[in-house]
Structure 1
Amino acid sequence: MRFDIITVLPGLLESPFAHSILQRAQKKGIAEIHVHNLRDYSSQKQKSVDDYPYGGGSGMVMTIEPFAKCITALKTERDYDEVIFMSPDGETFNQKIANQLSIQTNVIILCGHYKGIDQRIRDIFVTREISIGDYVLSGGELPAAVLVDAIVRLIPGVLSDETSALSDSFQDDMLDAPVYTRPADWNGHKVPDILLSGNTPEVEKWRFEQALERTRQRRPDLLK
Protein backbone atom coordinates (compact mmCIF):
# COMPACT_ATOMS: atom_id res chain seq x y z
CA MET A 1 0.00 0.00 0.00
CA ARG A 2 1.30 3.46 -0.90
CA PHE A 3 0.63 6.70 0.97
CA ASP A 4 1.44 10.13 -0.49
CA ILE A 5 1.18 12.82 2.17
CA ILE A 6 1.14 16.48 1.14
CA THR A 7 2.22 18.95 3.83
CA VAL A 8 3.98 22.26 4.49
CA LEU A 9 5.85 20.63 7.38
CA PRO A 10 7.46 17.43 6.08
CA GLY A 11 9.93 17.36 8.97
CA LEU A 12 7.08 16.89 11.42
CA LEU A 13 6.37 13.48 9.88
CA GLU A 14 9.92 12.13 9.85
CA SER A 15 9.90 10.58 13.32
CA PRO A 16 6.48 8.82 13.31
CA PHE A 17 7.34 6.90 10.14
CA ALA A 18 10.94 6.04 11.09
CA HIS A 19 10.29 3.74 14.03
CA SER A 20 8.57 0.57 15.21
CA ILE A 21 5.84 -1.04 13.10
CA LEU A 22 5.75 1.65 10.41
CA GLN A 23 9.50 1.39 9.89
CA ARG A 24 9.35 -2.40 9.63
CA ALA A 25 6.45 -2.27 7.18
CA GLN A 26 8.47 -0.02 4.88
CA LYS A 27 11.61 -2.14 5.15
CA LYS A 28 9.57 -5.22 4.24
CA GLY A 29 8.18 -3.40 1.20
CA ILE A 30 4.62 -3.86 2.45
CA ALA A 31 3.96 -0.13 2.77
CA GLU A 32 5.39 2.93 1.04
CA ILE A 33 5.10 6.32 2.72
CA HIS A 34 6.09 9.36 0.66
CA VAL A 35 5.96 12.87 2.11
CA HIS A 36 5.72 15.79 -0.32
CA ASN A 37 6.59 19.38 0.56
CA LEU A 38 3.73 21.55 -0.66
CA ARG A 39 6.07 24.54 -1.04
CA ASP A 40 7.87 22.72 -3.86
CA TYR A 41 4.72 23.24 -5.93
CA SER A 42 4.32 26.95 -5.23
CA SER A 43 4.86 29.40 -8.10
CA GLN A 44 5.44 32.28 -5.68
CA LYS A 45 8.95 33.70 -5.32
CA GLN A 46 8.87 33.19 -1.56
CA LYS A 47 7.30 29.71 -1.98
CA SER A 48 4.26 30.86 -0.03
CA VAL A 49 1.20 28.60 -0.04
CA ASP A 50 -1.32 30.79 1.79
CA ASP A 51 -3.17 34.06 1.33
CA TYR A 52 -5.77 36.27 3.02
CA PRO A 53 -9.36 34.97 2.97
CA TYR A 54 -11.90 36.56 0.66
CA GLY A 55 -14.56 38.39 2.65
CA GLY A 56 -12.16 39.19 5.46
CA GLY A 57 -11.72 37.42 8.76
CA SER A 58 -8.85 36.15 10.83
CA GLY A 59 -6.16 33.71 9.76
CA MET A 60 -4.70 32.70 6.43
CA VAL A 61 -6.06 30.21 3.89
CA MET A 62 -4.00 27.66 1.95
CA THR A 63 -4.20 28.37 -1.77
CA ILE A 64 -5.49 26.01 -4.42
CA GLU A 65 -2.63 26.04 -6.96
CA PRO A 66 0.11 24.17 -5.02
CA PHE A 67 -2.29 21.40 -3.99
CA ALA A 68 -3.64 21.11 -7.52
CA LYS A 69 -0.13 20.86 -9.02
CA CYS A 70 1.00 18.22 -6.53
CA ILE A 71 -2.12 16.07 -6.80
CA THR A 72 -2.13 16.28 -10.59
CA ALA A 73 1.54 15.29 -10.75
CA LEU A 74 0.93 12.26 -8.53
CA LYS A 75 -2.11 11.19 -10.52
CA THR A 76 -0.10 11.14 -13.75
CA GLU A 77 2.05 8.38 -12.19
CA ARG A 78 -0.67 6.09 -10.80
CA ASP A 79 -4.36 5.76 -9.97
CA TYR A 80 -5.48 6.60 -6.45
CA ASP A 81 -8.29 4.98 -4.49
CA GLU A 82 -8.80 7.96 -2.19
CA VAL A 83 -7.71 11.57 -1.75
CA ILE A 84 -8.22 12.17 1.96
CA PHE A 85 -8.30 15.55 3.67
CA MET A 86 -7.64 15.51 7.41
CA SER A 87 -10.27 17.90 8.74
CA PRO A 88 -12.00 18.48 12.10
CA ASP A 89 -15.35 18.51 10.29
CA GLY A 90 -14.80 15.19 8.50
CA GLU A 91 -16.25 11.82 9.49
CA THR A 92 -14.84 10.64 12.80
CA PHE A 93 -12.10 8.07 12.30
CA ASN A 94 -12.70 4.63 13.82
CA GLN A 95 -11.61 1.03 13.46
CA LYS A 96 -14.16 0.27 10.74
CA ILE A 97 -12.78 3.05 8.56
CA ALA A 98 -9.24 1.80 9.20
CA ASN A 99 -10.33 -1.67 8.09
CA GLN A 100 -11.89 -0.27 4.92
CA LEU A 101 -8.82 1.76 3.99
CA SER A 102 -6.38 -1.08 4.73
CA ILE A 103 -7.48 -2.94 1.58
CA GLN A 104 -6.80 0.03 -0.71
CA THR A 105 -3.66 0.35 -2.83
CA ASN A 106 -2.82 4.05 -3.26
CA VAL A 107 -3.98 6.91 -1.04
CA ILE A 108 -3.21 10.64 -1.01
CA ILE A 109 -3.51 12.49 2.30
CA LEU A 110 -3.76 16.29 2.44
CA CYS A 111 -2.61 18.08 5.59
CA GLY A 112 -4.22 21.45 6.16
CA HIS A 113 -2.69 24.30 8.11
CA TYR A 114 -3.42 27.87 9.14
CA LYS A 115 -7.17 28.68 9.01
CA GLY A 116 -7.85 25.94 6.48
CA ILE A 117 -7.64 25.19 2.76
CA ASP A 118 -9.47 26.78 -0.14
CA GLN A 119 -12.86 25.07 -0.37
CA ARG A 120 -12.32 24.38 -4.07
CA ILE A 121 -9.57 21.91 -3.20
CA ARG A 122 -12.12 19.95 -1.20
CA ASP A 123 -14.78 20.25 -3.88
CA ILE A 124 -12.57 19.24 -6.83
CA PHE A 125 -9.95 16.82 -5.53
CA VAL A 126 -10.92 15.37 -2.16
CA THR A 127 -12.88 12.10 -2.10
CA ARG A 128 -13.06 11.65 1.68
CA GLU A 129 -12.67 13.88 4.74
CA ILE A 130 -11.62 12.35 8.05
CA SER A 131 -11.34 13.73 11.59
CA ILE A 132 -9.55 12.02 14.47
CA GLY A 133 -11.73 13.72 17.08
CA ASP A 134 -13.77 16.73 18.11
CA TYR A 135 -10.89 19.13 18.67
CA VAL A 136 -8.60 21.31 16.57
CA LEU A 137 -4.84 20.82 16.11
CA SER A 138 -2.30 23.16 14.52
CA GLY A 139 -2.29 21.13 11.32
CA GLY A 140 -3.16 17.84 9.68
CA GLU A 141 0.25 16.21 10.06
CA LEU A 142 -0.33 14.46 13.39
CA PRO A 143 -3.80 13.24 12.32
CA ALA A 144 -2.24 11.92 9.10
CA ALA A 145 0.33 9.99 11.14
CA VAL A 146 -2.47 8.53 13.29
CA LEU A 147 -4.39 7.50 10.17
CA VAL A 148 -1.40 5.80 8.52
CA ASP A 149 -0.40 3.97 11.71
CA ALA A 150 -3.90 2.61 12.27
CA ILE A 151 -4.14 1.41 8.65
CA VAL A 152 -0.66 -0.04 8.11
CA ARG A 153 -0.77 -2.34 11.15
CA LEU A 154 -3.80 -4.07 9.57
CA ILE A 155 -2.04 -4.97 6.32
CA PRO A 156 -1.16 -8.69 6.20
CA GLY A 157 2.50 -9.31 6.93
CA VAL A 158 3.10 -6.15 8.96
CA LEU A 159 2.54 -7.62 12.42
CA SER A 160 4.49 -10.75 13.36
CA ASP A 161 1.23 -12.21 14.73
CA GLU A 162 -1.52 -11.24 12.30
CA THR A 163 -4.25 -12.41 14.67
CA SER A 164 -3.18 -9.72 17.13
CA ALA A 165 -4.84 -6.94 15.11
CA LEU A 166 -8.06 -8.94 14.86
CA SER A 167 -8.41 -9.03 18.64
CA ASP A 168 -7.72 -5.34 19.23
CA SER A 169 -10.21 -3.06 20.91
CA PHE A 170 -13.07 -1.90 18.63
CA GLN A 171 -12.67 -4.73 16.08
CA ASP A 172 -15.88 -6.35 17.35
CA ASP A 173 -17.43 -3.16 18.72
CA MET A 174 -15.96 -4.01 22.11
CA LEU A 175 -12.95 -3.00 24.16
CA ASP A 176 -10.23 -5.59 24.71
CA ALA A 177 -10.05 -7.82 27.78
CA PRO A 178 -7.36 -7.30 30.47
CA VAL A 179 -3.98 -8.85 29.65
CA TYR A 180 -1.24 -10.18 31.94
CA THR A 181 2.30 -11.57 31.73
CA ARG A 182 5.03 -12.86 34.08
CA PRO A 183 5.36 -12.96 37.03
CA ALA A 184 2.13 -14.71 38.00
CA ASP A 185 2.37 -13.19 41.50
CA TRP A 186 3.81 -9.71 41.99
CA ASN A 187 3.81 -8.52 45.59
CA GLY A 188 0.59 -10.40 46.25
CA HIS A 189 -1.13 -9.16 43.07
CA LYS A 190 -1.94 -12.35 41.20
CA VAL A 191 -2.88 -13.18 37.64
CA PRO A 192 -6.43 -14.67 37.44
CA ASP A 193 -6.26 -18.44 37.90
CA ILE A 194 -8.21 -19.11 34.70
CA LEU A 195 -5.33 -17.71 32.60
CA LEU A 196 -2.94 -20.22 34.16
CA SER A 197 -5.27 -23.19 33.74
CA GLY A 198 -4.38 -24.14 30.16
CA ASN A 199 -8.10 -24.59 29.43
CA THR A 200 -8.33 -22.69 26.15
CA PRO A 201 -12.16 -22.69 25.75
CA GLU A 202 -12.61 -21.40 29.31
CA VAL A 203 -9.89 -18.80 28.81
CA GLU A 204 -11.62 -17.52 25.65
CA LYS A 205 -14.94 -17.44 27.48
CA TRP A 206 -13.36 -15.46 30.32
CA ARG A 207 -11.78 -13.00 27.88
CA PHE A 208 -15.10 -12.43 26.10
CA GLU A 209 -16.92 -11.85 29.40
CA GLN A 210 -14.23 -9.47 30.60
CA ALA A 211 -14.27 -7.55 27.32
CA LEU A 212 -18.04 -7.30 27.42
CA GLU A 213 -18.05 -6.04 31.01
CA ARG A 214 -15.29 -3.52 30.36
CA THR A 215 -17.20 -2.21 27.35
CA ARG A 216 -20.42 -1.97 29.40
CA GLN A 217 -18.61 0.07 32.04
CA ARG A 218 -16.46 2.30 29.87
CA ARG A 219 -18.07 2.51 26.41
CA PRO A 220 -21.71 1.40 26.59
CA ASP A 221 -22.33 3.34 23.37
CA LEU A 222 -20.43 0.63 21.46
CA LEU A 223 -22.89 -2.09 22.42
CA LYS A 224 -25.84 -2.44 20.09
Structure 2
Amino acid sequence: MPDISATELKERLIRDLPGALAPERPKDQHAGNGHVAEASAKGKKEEGPVDLLATSDAVVLAERIPEVATYVRDTLGYELLSDLTAVDYLADGLIEVIYRFQHLDGGPTLPVKTRVSRDRAVVPSITPIWPGADLQEREAFDLYGVDFPGHPNLKRVYMPTTVGMSSEGFPMFPSRAINILAMERSSQYVVTSQQYAVARAQHRAAARRLPTASCRLPTADEQLC
Protein backbone atom coordinates (compact mmCIF):
# COMPACT_ATOMS: atom_id res chain seq x y z
CA MET A 1 0.00 0.00 0.00
CA PRO A 2 1.23 3.57 -0.56
CA ASP A 3 2.92 5.12 2.46
CA ILE A 4 4.29 8.46 1.31
CA SER A 5 5.71 10.97 3.75
CA ALA A 6 5.02 14.68 3.52
CA THR A 7 8.61 15.28 2.43
CA GLU A 8 8.38 12.67 -0.32
CA LEU A 9 5.08 14.09 -1.53
CA LYS A 10 6.59 17.57 -1.83
CA GLU A 11 9.57 16.18 -3.71
CA ARG A 12 7.26 14.39 -6.14
CA LEU A 13 5.12 17.48 -6.67
CA ILE A 14 8.22 19.56 -7.41
CA ARG A 15 9.31 16.96 -9.94
CA ASP A 16 5.98 16.04 -11.56
CA LEU A 17 3.83 19.17 -11.06
CA PRO A 18 6.24 22.13 -11.10
CA GLY A 19 4.85 25.25 -9.50
CA ALA A 20 2.05 23.45 -7.64
CA LEU A 21 3.54 24.01 -4.19
CA ALA A 22 2.83 27.35 -2.56
CA PRO A 23 5.87 29.49 -1.71
CA GLU A 24 7.14 28.97 1.81
CA ARG A 25 6.14 31.66 4.29
CA PRO A 26 8.93 34.07 5.20
CA LYS A 27 9.98 33.89 8.84
CA ASP A 28 8.90 37.46 9.51
CA GLN A 29 5.29 36.45 8.78
CA HIS A 30 5.26 34.19 11.83
CA ALA A 31 4.79 37.15 14.15
CA GLY A 32 1.06 37.12 13.54
CA ASN A 33 0.47 33.93 15.53
CA GLY A 34 3.46 33.46 17.79
CA HIS A 35 6.89 34.81 18.67
CA VAL A 36 10.39 33.46 18.76
CA ALA A 37 11.52 32.35 22.19
CA GLU A 38 14.09 34.69 23.73
CA ALA A 39 17.22 33.52 25.50
CA SER A 40 17.10 33.58 29.31
CA ALA A 41 19.71 35.04 31.61
CA LYS A 42 21.28 31.60 31.99
CA GLY A 43 21.71 31.30 28.25
CA LYS A 44 18.94 28.72 27.87
CA LYS A 45 16.34 29.19 25.20
CA GLU A 46 12.94 29.28 26.85
CA GLU A 47 9.94 27.74 25.19
CA GLY A 48 7.68 30.28 23.52
CA PRO A 49 4.36 30.17 21.64
CA VAL A 50 4.25 27.84 18.70
CA ASP A 51 3.60 28.96 15.15
CA LEU A 52 0.31 27.27 14.31
CA LEU A 53 0.73 27.95 10.60
CA ALA A 54 4.05 26.11 10.51
CA THR A 55 3.56 22.72 8.90
CA SER A 56 5.54 19.92 7.32
CA ASP A 57 2.55 19.00 5.12
CA ALA A 58 2.37 19.90 1.45
CA VAL A 59 0.74 23.32 0.98
CA VAL A 60 -0.26 23.86 -2.64
CA LEU A 61 -1.65 26.81 -4.59
CA ALA A 62 -5.44 26.89 -4.55
CA GLU A 63 -5.74 26.94 -8.33
CA ARG A 64 -3.71 23.73 -8.57
CA ILE A 65 -5.83 21.72 -6.11
CA PRO A 66 -7.82 19.75 -8.77
CA GLU A 67 -4.60 18.85 -10.56
CA VAL A 68 -2.90 17.76 -7.32
CA ALA A 69 -5.94 15.75 -6.21
CA THR A 70 -6.00 13.91 -9.53
CA TYR A 71 -2.27 13.23 -9.23
CA VAL A 72 -2.65 11.87 -5.70
CA ARG A 73 -5.36 9.47 -6.88
CA ASP A 74 -4.20 8.38 -10.32
CA THR A 75 -0.43 8.44 -9.84
CA LEU A 76 0.08 7.82 -6.14
CA GLY A 77 -2.81 5.40 -5.66
CA TYR A 78 -4.76 7.17 -2.90
CA GLU A 79 -8.31 6.35 -3.99
CA LEU A 80 -10.31 7.66 -1.01
CA LEU A 81 -10.87 11.26 0.03
CA SER A 82 -11.42 10.60 3.73
CA ASP A 83 -11.80 14.18 4.88
CA LEU A 84 -12.09 17.76 3.66
CA THR A 85 -12.35 20.56 6.19
CA ALA A 86 -11.43 24.19 6.77
CA VAL A 87 -9.68 26.18 9.50
CA ASP A 88 -10.20 29.90 10.07
CA TYR A 89 -6.99 31.68 11.11
CA LEU A 90 -8.68 34.96 11.96
CA ALA A 91 -5.57 36.72 13.30
CA ASP A 92 -3.65 35.84 10.13
CA GLY A 93 -6.45 36.63 7.68
CA LEU A 94 -6.34 33.13 6.20
CA ILE A 95 -8.67 30.22 5.56
CA GLU A 96 -6.91 26.87 5.30
CA VAL A 97 -8.60 24.01 3.47
CA ILE A 98 -7.28 20.56 4.38
CA TYR A 99 -7.69 17.43 2.28
CA ARG A 100 -6.88 13.95 3.59
CA PHE A 101 -6.46 11.10 1.13
CA GLN A 102 -6.26 7.43 2.02
CA HIS A 103 -5.56 4.10 0.35
CA LEU A 104 -8.40 1.58 0.39
CA ASP A 105 -6.10 -1.05 1.90
CA GLY A 106 -5.43 1.22 4.89
CA GLY A 107 -2.32 2.98 6.07
CA PRO A 108 -1.82 6.60 7.15
CA THR A 109 -3.67 9.43 5.46
CA LEU A 110 -1.91 11.80 3.09
CA PRO A 111 -2.71 15.44 3.93
CA VAL A 112 -2.68 18.23 1.38
CA LYS A 113 -3.40 21.85 2.34
CA THR A 114 -4.14 25.10 0.61
CA ARG A 115 -4.47 28.60 2.04
CA VAL A 116 -6.51 31.51 0.76
CA SER A 117 -7.34 34.99 1.97
CA ARG A 118 -10.40 35.35 4.20
CA ASP A 119 -11.44 38.24 1.96
CA ARG A 120 -11.45 35.99 -1.11
CA ALA A 121 -11.78 32.39 0.00
CA VAL A 122 -11.99 30.69 -3.39
CA VAL A 123 -10.77 27.14 -4.08
CA PRO A 124 -11.68 25.23 -7.26
CA SER A 125 -14.03 22.33 -6.59
CA ILE A 126 -12.74 18.77 -6.82
CA THR A 127 -16.25 17.29 -6.77
CA PRO A 128 -16.23 16.70 -10.57
CA ILE A 129 -13.22 14.39 -10.11
CA TRP A 130 -13.87 13.27 -6.52
CA PRO A 131 -17.67 12.90 -6.08
CA GLY A 132 -17.12 12.21 -2.38
CA ALA A 133 -16.09 15.84 -1.92
CA ASP A 134 -19.62 17.03 -2.69
CA LEU A 135 -21.04 17.28 0.83
CA GLN A 136 -17.73 18.19 2.44
CA GLU A 137 -17.23 21.19 0.13
CA ARG A 138 -20.79 22.29 0.81
CA GLU A 139 -20.10 22.10 4.55
CA ALA A 140 -16.95 24.24 4.22
CA PHE A 141 -18.98 26.73 2.17
CA ASP A 142 -21.84 26.78 4.68
CA LEU A 143 -19.71 27.21 7.80
CA TYR A 144 -16.64 29.08 6.53
CA GLY A 145 -17.78 30.78 3.34
CA VAL A 146 -15.28 29.00 1.09
CA ASP A 147 -16.42 29.28 -2.52
CA PHE A 148 -15.79 26.20 -4.66
CA PRO A 149 -16.20 27.17 -8.34
CA GLY A 150 -17.17 24.16 -10.43
CA HIS A 151 -19.24 22.51 -7.70
CA PRO A 152 -22.49 21.26 -9.26
CA ASN A 153 -24.70 22.12 -6.28
CA LEU A 154 -22.98 24.51 -3.87
CA LYS A 155 -25.80 25.07 -1.36
CA ARG A 156 -25.92 25.34 2.40
CA VAL A 157 -26.08 22.15 4.46
CA TYR A 158 -26.97 23.29 7.99
CA MET A 159 -27.99 26.93 7.80
CA PRO A 160 -31.30 27.97 6.23
CA THR A 161 -30.97 28.87 2.59
CA THR A 162 -32.61 32.23 3.37
CA VAL A 163 -29.61 33.31 5.47
CA GLY A 164 -27.74 35.91 3.48
CA MET A 165 -25.91 39.09 4.53
CA SER A 166 -25.67 40.45 8.04
CA SER A 167 -26.75 44.00 8.92
CA GLU A 168 -23.05 44.94 8.82
CA GLY A 169 -22.80 43.71 5.24
CA PHE A 170 -20.73 40.53 5.57
CA PRO A 171 -21.90 37.04 4.57
CA MET A 172 -23.36 35.05 7.46
CA PHE A 173 -21.11 32.02 7.89
CA PRO A 174 -21.37 30.60 11.45
CA SER A 175 -17.74 29.66 12.04
CA ARG A 176 -16.54 33.08 10.88
CA ALA A 177 -19.25 34.95 12.77
CA ILE A 178 -18.36 33.20 16.05
CA ASN A 179 -14.79 34.45 15.85
CA ILE A 180 -15.80 37.98 14.82
CA LEU A 181 -18.44 38.37 17.55
CA ALA A 182 -16.12 36.95 20.18
CA MET A 183 -13.44 39.47 19.23
CA GLU A 184 -15.91 42.31 19.57
CA ARG A 185 -17.13 41.19 23.01
CA SER A 186 -13.98 39.98 24.72
CA SER A 187 -10.61 39.31 23.15
CA GLN A 188 -9.83 36.61 25.71
CA TYR A 189 -12.38 34.29 24.11
CA VAL A 190 -11.17 34.62 20.52
CA VAL A 191 -9.77 31.38 19.21
CA THR A 192 -6.92 32.79 17.14
CA SER A 193 -3.59 31.19 16.47
CA GLN A 194 -1.78 33.95 18.39
CA GLN A 195 -3.84 33.73 21.58
CA TYR A 196 -3.96 29.95 21.53
CA ALA A 197 -0.19 29.81 21.22
CA VAL A 198 0.31 32.22 24.15
CA ALA A 199 -2.19 30.34 26.35
CA ARG A 200 -0.56 27.03 25.49
CA ALA A 201 2.88 28.32 26.48
CA GLN A 202 1.52 29.77 29.75
CA HIS A 203 -0.21 26.49 30.57
CA ARG A 204 2.98 24.51 30.03
CA ALA A 205 4.99 26.94 32.15
CA ALA A 206 2.47 26.70 34.98
CA ALA A 207 2.43 22.90 34.78
CA ARG A 208 6.20 22.81 35.22
CA ARG A 209 5.89 24.78 38.48
CA LEU A 210 3.34 22.40 40.05
CA PRO A 211 4.67 19.96 42.68
CA THR A 212 4.69 16.31 41.67
CA ALA A 213 1.86 14.46 43.38
CA SER A 214 2.43 11.11 45.07
CA CYS A 215 -0.28 8.85 43.72
CA ARG A 216 -1.13 5.36 44.87
CA LEU A 217 -4.09 2.99 44.84
CA PRO A 218 -6.14 2.74 48.09
CA THR A 219 -5.75 -0.33 50.23
CA ALA A 220 -8.64 -2.65 50.99
CA ASP A 221 -9.10 -1.06 54.46
CA GLU A 222 -9.30 2.50 53.15
CA GLN A 223 -12.67 3.97 52.25
CA LEU A 224 -13.03 5.72 48.95
CA CYS A 225 -14.81 9.08 48.82
Same fold (TM over 0.5): no
User: As a proportion of its length, which structure holds more strand?
Assistant: 1
